[in-house]
Structures are given as C-alpha cells and as structure tokens.
Structure 1
Amino acid sequence: MSAGAQLSVTDLRQAARHPVDFPVIAEHRVHGDVRLHIANISAQGFMVDGSPKLSRGDRVLIRLPEVGRIEAYVIWVRDERAGLQFERIIRMDDFIAMIDTLQPNPRLRRSR
C-alpha cells in the first residue's frame, strides 16, 4: 500500500501558468499554519517559493479568492520552491475570476 497522496487529477504540468504575487497562510497537518508565497498558478496547481518546510507528499489547505478553501499536495520540491497540485481541478469560470482578482494588471494576464 502506498503512503503518498492518491490524487484523482493527473499530472498536468503542461497547463498554462499565470504569474502571481500572492501570500497565503496554509494549514499543514504537522507544521500548523505555514506562510507560503504563490508565484504562479494554474487550474490544476501552483508553485510556491521560499517554502523550506514542505516535503514531497505533504498536504496543505489554502484559501483562494473566488475558489475558497482547497486542498493541495506537494508534487515536487527543489531548493526553496515547491510545486503543488490541487485535489480537484478548479472550474474555469472560478479560475478566471480568481486570476482577475490575483492579477489586477491586465498586461500580465495571459490571453484567454
């Protein structure tokens, strides 16, 4: 029996990522509240930088604008960065609304 996360979402690292600058407090089962900085995000997951406390397979719970509370699992860790995958894919209309909130400068948004 594997001890890792059992995700229903396949690895979709080719998904379009949107650069953001969004600090968030994540709930971690072992470390409690952990401050993370989301550097980019997609409908399937996000990358954080400056996250030395995360390890591959960790689960965190975060709150995102328009989406609310959502769980994510650490897929990879390299130096001070980590890639996390959401437990479910964010619906496109919610994702677009979230990007409009997180990325108020329209020149930074990717074309849709």
Structure 2
Amino acid sequence: MGSGAQLTVTDLRQATRHPVEYRVTGEHRRLGDVDLKIINISAHGFMTEGDCTLQRGERIVIRLPQLGQIEAHMIWMTNGRAGFQFERIIRLEDFMKLVDALQPNPRLRPLRR
C-alpha cells in the first residue's frame, strides 16, 4: 500500500482556475522552506511553475492572503509544473477575497453576480 496522501476528491481539474502570479514559501516536514510560484488557483487547489523538489502525494503548508495557513498535497508534476490540492475546499466568499488579493488586474478576476 502506498504512503501517499489519501485524498477525498480525486479529480477536480474541471474547477474554474484563475490566473495569478504569486510567490509563496511553503513549509515541508523534510525539506523545510520551499519556494513556490503559483500561476493559477481554484477553490480546490493551485498550480505552480518552476523547480519543485516535492514528490507526488507529499504535503506542504502555505500561507495565503485572506485564508491564512492551509495545507496542500501534490497531485501531479510534469514539465516544470505541479498541481496541488488543498486539504479542504475554500468557501466561495473567502475564495473571491483571495482572488482579489492575488490578482491585481480586475479584468482577470471572476465576474461578480
């Protein structure tokens, strides 16, 4: 049996993603501080670009505006990009505040109803 993360939601690639460019330092139990560049985000997770020394299933704790500390698991990695799933789904109200904080260009923010 594998020792990877036991995720409850396995395929959320259909979730709406919002483009961002946000650098964050994550905390990893083995590697310590890990620098990440988030290039898109959804209420379920985020994608990074650049070198990443984590392996699929490993956990990282990051701090995001409006949310504070949140844990994420690496789901996939290919060609210098990696996808992470949050430990929990972010509430819509909190997610909209997060996108506003991460995405300074209002044209790229989601439409408000």
TM surpasses 0.5: yes
Residue matched to 1:31? 31
Q: Contact (CA 8 Å) 1:54, 1:82: kept in 2 or not?
A: no
Alignment of 1:1-112 (within 5 A): 1-112=1-112
Q: Contact (CA 8 Å) 1:54, 1:77: kept in 2 or not?
A: no
* Structure 2 unaligned regions, length at least 5: none
Q: Contact (CA 8 Å) 2:49, 2:80: kept in 1 or not?
A: yes
Aligned length: 112
**Identity percentage of aligned residues:** 62
* Structure 1 unaligned regions, length at least 5: none
**What displacement does 1:30 show?**
1.2
Report the 3-state secondary structure (helix = DSSP H, G, I; strand = E; otherwise coil) of the residue aligned with 1:12.
coil
Large movers: runs of 4+ above 4 Å: none
**What displacement does 1:79 show?**
2.1
Q: Which residue identity is paired with 1:34?
A: V
Q: Distance in 1 between matches of 2:93 and 2:10?
A: 21
- Segment drifting more, 9-18 vs 94-103: 9-18
With normalisation by structure 1, the TM-score equals 0.94
**What displacement does 1:10 show?**
3.8
Q: Distance in 2 between matches of 1:83 and 1:107?
A: 24
